[in-house]
């Protein structure tokens, strides 16, 4: 199902526009960068370690001289998605915008890491469908709700339990775990270093990292 149908919007692209094909292509940008571009999509409950892991992986990649960028949930909602709330409809629109932004960065030859709860399977599937086969890597940061609540770094679970935050994933709004993620990390059991190592191993297996690495 397309995102337009999911949101009950008419299918199709913007009217009166034509896609302009650039002479500088993604392939040429990748050749210049000397590495492939890819989207690494971290999903999981609040407090599962998505952002921490995404930035730690980016740091590792940056040290190798690769071009990277992290799209972080909180940061994006302060700009690109500042007009959105946390209703199901707004969450869907949030992920649509992120998917399209990540796609642009992919074409720019950048390794893009996204750290979003992205609670619904359908929206994650739509984000994946925007991306050519093999260029979307879904990583599930699994952490039991009880552990996430114990961490509660931002104090959000406490507020959600008190009814001060509506539509909070895991409490008053569902989180649909990925059925077949490219990688599942039990972040309650693994150290940050172990998680980073597993992600880097996956990137090696997918031939994302340059040979010199």
Catalytic residue, chosen from 118, 129, 173, 201, is 118
5 vs 183: which has the higher pLDDT: 183
Q: pLDDT (tens digit, 9 = 90+) per residue, 86-117?
A: 888 888 888 888 899 999 999 999 999 999 99
Is 118 designated active site?
yes
pLDDT at 13 over 60: no
Q: pLDDT (tens digit, 9 = 90+) per residue, 111-154?
A: 999 999 999 999 899 899 988 788 999 999 999 999 999 998 88
79: domain CATH number?
3.40.50.300
Give the containing element (helix H, strand E) for 31: helix 26-33
Enclosing domain of residue 67: 25-204
The answer as to whether 211 is a domain residue is no
pLDDT at 53 over 90: yes
Q: What is the pTM of this model?
A: 0.85
The answer as to whether 16 is a domain residue is no
CA angle 126, 66, 130 (to 5 degrees): 10
The answer as to whether 83 is a domain residue is yes
The answer as to whether 8 is a domain residue is no
Q: Could you give the number of structural domains in the chain?
A: 1
Phi, psi at 116, each rounded to 5°: -135, 145
Please report which confidence band the pLDDT of residue 74 belongs to, taking 50, 70 and 90 as the band edges.
Answer: confident
Does residue 84 contact residue 56 with C-beta atoms inside 8 Å? no
The answer as to whether 133 is a domain residue is yes
The answer as to whether 6 is a domain residue is no
Say what the pLDDT of residue 7 is. Answer: 44
The answer as to whether 14 is a domain residue is no
């Amino acid at each position: 199902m397309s995102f337009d149908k999911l949101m009950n919007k008419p299918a199709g692209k913007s009217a009166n526009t034509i896609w302009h094909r650039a002479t500088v292509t993604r392939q040429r940008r990748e050749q210049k960068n000397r590495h492939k571009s890819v989207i690494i999509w971290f999903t999981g409950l609040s407090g599962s370690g998505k952002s921490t892991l995404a930035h730690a992986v980016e740091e590792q990649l940056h040290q190798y001289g690769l071009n990277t960028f992290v799209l972080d949930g909180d940061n994006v909602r302060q700009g690109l998605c500042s007009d959105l709330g946390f209703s199901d409809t707004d969450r869907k629109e949030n992920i649509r915008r992120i998917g399209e932004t990540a796609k642009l960065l992919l074409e720019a030859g950048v390794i893009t890491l996204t750290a979003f709860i992205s609670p619904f399977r359908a929206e994650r599937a739509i984000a994946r469908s925007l991306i050519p086969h093999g260029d979307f890597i879904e990583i599930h940061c699994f952490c039991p709700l009880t552990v996430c609540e114990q961490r509660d770094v931002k104090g959000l679970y406490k507020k959600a339990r008190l009814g001060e935050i509506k539509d909070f994933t895991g409490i008053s709004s569902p989180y649909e775990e990925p059925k077949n993620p490219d990688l599942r990390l039990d972040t309650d059991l693994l150290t940050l270093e172990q998680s980073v190592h597993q992600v880097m191993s996956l990137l090696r297996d997918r031939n994302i990292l340059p040979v010199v690495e």
